[in-house]
Structure 1
Amino acid sequence: MTDRPHDFDTTTLTDRPPDLPDTDADRQGADMVDLDAARTERLPYGTMPPADDPQDGPPVFDTSYEVELDDPPDNDTATGPGPMPVDPPRPAVLESPEGDKRRPIIPPGLRRGSLASTVRTTAGKWAYVVGFHAARSPWYTLQALWWAVVGLFRLAGRQLRWWWVNEQYTLAQQAANDNDPAMWLKLHREGKATRRWRGIALFFQAIALAVAVIIAFQADLAAYWWALIGAALVPVLARYGRPAGRQIIPTAVVSRRYRLLNSDVVLRAYYAAGLGHPDRANQQVQFGSRMSRDAAGTGSEVLIDLPYGKTFDDAVKARGAIASGLDVTEQQVYLTRDQTSNRRHMLFVADRDPLAIPAGRTPLLDGKPRNIWQPAPFGLDERGRKVTLLLLWISILVGAQPRKGKTFAARSLALYAAMDPYVKLTVVDGKDSPDWRKFSLIAHRIIFGTMPNRDGDPVEMLLDALREIKAHIQQVNQFLSTLPVTECPDGKLTEELSRKYENLRVWVLVMEEFQVYYELDDQETNKEIASLLSFIMAVGPSAGVIILSSSQKPGGVGAGDVQRLFNRYRDNHAVRFALKCGNRNVSDAILGGDAYSEGFDASSLPIGKAYRGVGYLYGAADDTPTVRTYLADAADAEKILATARALRERAGTLTGYAAGQTMAREVRDVLADALTVYEGSETGLPWTFLASRLAERIPEHYADVTADTISAQLRALAVPSVDVKRDGKALKGAKKAAVAAAIKRRENTTG
Structure 2
Amino acid sequence: MVPQTPPPDDHNFDWTAAEADVKNVVDLDKARTTRRTESGDTHFEVTLDETPERGGMPVEAPPSGAAGRVPIVPVGWSTWPNIKHSIRQTLAVFGYRCGFHALRSPKYAILAAFWALVGAFRLAGRQIKWWWVTEQYSLRQATADANDPAMWLKLHREVKATRTWRFIVLTTEALVIAVGGPILYATAPWWALALILVGVVAFLAHYGRPDDRPIITPATVAGRFRRVNPDIILRAYYAAGLGHPDKPHQQISFGSTMARDPSGTGSQVSIDLPYGKTFDEAVKARGAIASGLDVAISQVFITRDFSSHRRHTLWVADRDPLSQGAGRTPLLRCKPTDIWQPAPFGLDERGNKVEILLMWISIMIAAQPRQGKTFAARLLGLYAALDPYVKITVFDGGGKPDWRKFALVADRCAFGLAMTRDGDPAEIVLEALREIKADVQDRYERLSKLPVDVCPEGKLTREIARDPKYKMPVRIVLLDEFQEYFDLGDTSKEIASLLVYLVKVAPAAGVIFVDATQRPSGVGGGQVASQFISFRDNHQVRFSLRTGSWQVSDLVLGSGAYSEGHDSSTLLPSYKGVGILRGASDATPTVRTYLADADDAEKILIEARKLREAAGTLTGMAAGEDVARAARDVLADVRSVIERGETGAQWEEIATRLAGRLPEAYADTTAEAISAQVRAFGVRSVDIKRAGKALKGAKTDDIDAAITRRKAA
**TM-score normalised by the shorter chain: which range applies?**
0.5 to 0.7
| 2:433 maps to 1:462 | yes
- 1:138 pairs, out of 106, 131, 151, with 106
Aligned partner of 2:544 in structure 1 is 578
Q: Determine the C-alpha separation between the residues in 2 that align with 1:227 and 1:474.
A: 93
SS at match of 1:510: strand
Aligned partner of 1:601 in structure 2 is 567
Cα pair distance change 1:104/1:577, threshold 3 Å: farther
AA aligned to 1:188 is H
Whether the 8 Å CA contact 2:339–2:359 is kept in 1: the answer is yes
SS at match of 2:561: helix
- 1:416 pairs, out of 383, 386, 390, with 383
Cα pair distance change 1:116/1:383, threshold 3 Å: farther
Whether the 8 Å CA contact 1:427–1:446 is kept in 2: the answer is yes
Aligned partner of 2:581 in structure 1 is 617
Question: 1:148-179, CA deviations, whole angstroms, 9 ceiling, x for partnerless residues?
Answer: 34334433443443333333223222332333
How many angstroms does 1:314 deviate by? 1.3
Q: Determine the C-alpha separation between the residues in 1 that align with 2:218 and 2:91.
A: 17
How many angstroms does 1:418 deviate by? 2.0
Aligned partner of 2:279 in structure 1 is 312
| 2:502 maps to 1:535 | no
Cα pair distance change 1:116/1:372, threshold 3 Å: farther
Q: Determine the C-alpha separation between the residues in 2 that align with 1:366 and 1:298.
A: 28
Within 5 Å, which residues of 2 pair with 1:372-521? Answer: 372=339, 374-448=341-415, 454-456=421-423, 457-458=427-428, 459-468=430-439, 471=442, 493-494=461-462, 498=466, 506-514=474-482, 521=490
How many angstroms does 1:130 deviate by? 2.8
Within 5 Å, which residues of 2 pair with 1:52-201? Answer: 125-201=93-169
How many angstroms does 1:200 deviate by? 3.8
Whether the 8 Å CA contact 2:278–2:310 is kept in 1: the answer is yes
Within 5 Å, which residues of 2 pair with 1:20-35? Answer: none
Question: 1:206-264, CA deviations, whole angstroms, 9 ceiling, x for partnerless residues?
Answer: 45555543543453x33222222223332222212223322111223343334444555
Q: Determine the C-alpha separation between the residues in 2 that align with 1:7 and 1:645.
A: 53
Cα pair distance change 1:525/1:377, threshold 3 Å: closer
How many angstroms does 1:346 deviate by? 3.0
AA aligned to 2:490 is D
Cα pair distance change 1:109/1:472, threshold 3 Å: farther
Whether the 8 Å CA contact 1:359–1:630 is kept in 2: the answer is yes
Within 5 Å, which residues of 2 pair with 1:311-390? Answer: 311-350=278-317, 352-365=319-332, 370-372=337-339, 374-390=341-357
How many angstroms does 1:577 deviate by? 1.1
SS at match of 1:595: coil
Q: Determine the C-alpha separation between the residues in 1 that align with 2:460 and 2:94.
A: 53
How many angstroms does 1:144 deviate by? 1.8
Question: 1:679-698, CA deviations, whole angstroms, 9 ceiling, x for partnerless residues?
Answer: xxxxxxxxxxxxxxxxxxxx
AA aligned to 2:506 is I
How many angstroms does 1:616 deviate by? 1.2
Cα pair distance change 1:326/1:447, threshold 3 Å: same
Cα pair distance change 1:145/1:502, threshold 3 Å: farther
SS at match of 2:102: helix
Q: Determine the C-alpha separation between the residues in 1 that align with 2:184 and 2:522.
A: 95
SS at match of 2:157: helix
How many angstroms does 1:143 deviate by? 2.1
Q: Determine the C-alpha separation between the residues in 2 that align with 1:326 and 1:391.
A: 38
Whether the 8 Å CA contact 2:348–2:589 is kept in 1: the answer is yes
Question: 1:308-343, CA deviations, whole angstroms, 9 ceiling, x for partnerless residues?
Answer: 322221122222333444455433432222344433
Within 5 Å, which residues of 2 pair with 1:214-225? Answer: 214-219=182-187, 221-225=188-192
Cα pair distance change 1:414/1:344, threshold 3 Å: same
Whether the 8 Å CA contact 1:291–1:300 is kept in 2: the answer is yes
Q: Determine the C-alpha separation between the residues in 2 that align with 1:68 and 1:265.
A: 25
Greater RCO (CA < 8 Å, at least 6 residues apart): 2
Whether the 8 Å CA contact 2:359–2:507 is kept in 1: the answer is no
Whether the 8 Å CA contact 2:447–2:459 is kept in 1: the answer is no
How many angstroms does 1:374 deviate by? 4.8
How many angstroms does 1:116 deviate by? 8.6
User: What is the aligned-residue identity percentage?
Assistant: 53
Aligned partner of 2:652 in structure 1 is none
SS at match of 2:358: coil
Whether the 8 Å CA contact 1:396–1:547 is kept in 2: the answer is yes
How many angstroms does 1:408 deviate by? 2.4
How many angstroms does 1:426 deviate by? 2.0
AA aligned to 1:138 is P
Q: Determine the C-alpha separation between the residues in 1 that align with 2:610 and 2:311.
A: 53
SS at match of 2:134: coil
Q: Determine the C-alpha separation between the residues in 1 that align with 2:352 and 2:365.
A: 21
AA aligned to 1:536 is A
Whether the 8 Å CA contact 2:440–2:509 is kept in 1: the answer is no
Q: Determine the C-alpha separation between the residues in 2 that align with 1:579 and 1:386.
A: 18
Aligned partner of 1:231 in structure 2 is 198
Whether the 8 Å CA contact 1:558–1:566 is kept in 2: the answer is no
How many angstroms does 1:416 deviate by? 2.3
Q: Which runs of 5+ in 2 are unaligned?
A: 14-63, 627-713
Cα pair distance change 1:222/1:558, threshold 3 Å: closer
Q: Determine the C-alpha separation between the residues in 2 that align with 1:305 and 1:621.
A: 24
AA aligned to 2:379 is S
Q: Determine the C-alpha separation between the residues in 2 that align with 1:504 and 1:119.
A: 54
Question: 1:26-79, CA deviations, whole angstroms, 9 ceiling, x for partnerless residues?
Answer: xxxxxxxxxxxxxxxxxxxxxxxxxxxxxxxxxxxxxxxxx75569xxxxxxxx
Q: Determine the C-alpha separation between the residues in 1 that align with 2:198 and 2:584.
A: 62
Whether the 8 Å CA contact 1:426–1:445 is kept in 2: the answer is yes
Cα pair distance change 1:616/1:461, threshold 3 Å: same
| 2:528 maps to 1:549 | no
Question: 1:406-439, CA deviations, whole angstroms, 9 ceiling, x for partnerless residues?
Answer: 3222112112222344433222334554432221
Q: CA RMSD in A?
A: 4.6
How many angstroms does 1:471 deviate by? 4.6
Q: Determine the C-alpha separation between the residues in 1 that align with 2:483 and 2:116.
A: 77
Question: 1:576-625, CA deviations, whole angstroms, 9 ceiling, x for partnerless residues?
Answer: 212344555654444333534422234x33463x2343321012222211
TM-score (structure 1 length as normaliser): 0.63
Whether the 8 Å CA contact 1:512–1:549 is kept in 2: the answer is yes
Cα pair distance change 1:661/1:636, threshold 3 Å: farther
AA aligned to 2:433 is L
How many angstroms does 1:137 deviate by? 0.5
Whether the 8 Å CA contact 1:414–1:510 is kept in 2: the answer is yes
How many angstroms does 1:106 deviate by? 7.8
SS at match of 1:428: strand
Q: Which runs of 5+ in 1 are unaligned?
A: 11-66, 72-96, 663-751
Whether the 8 Å CA contact 2:243–2:274 is kept in 1: the answer is yes
SS at match of 2:216: coil
Cα pair distance change 1:473/1:199, threshold 3 Å: farther
SS at match of 1:173: helix
Whether the 8 Å CA contact 1:336–1:345 is kept in 2: the answer is yes
| 2:562 maps to 1:592 | no
Report how many aligned residue pairs link the two structures: 565
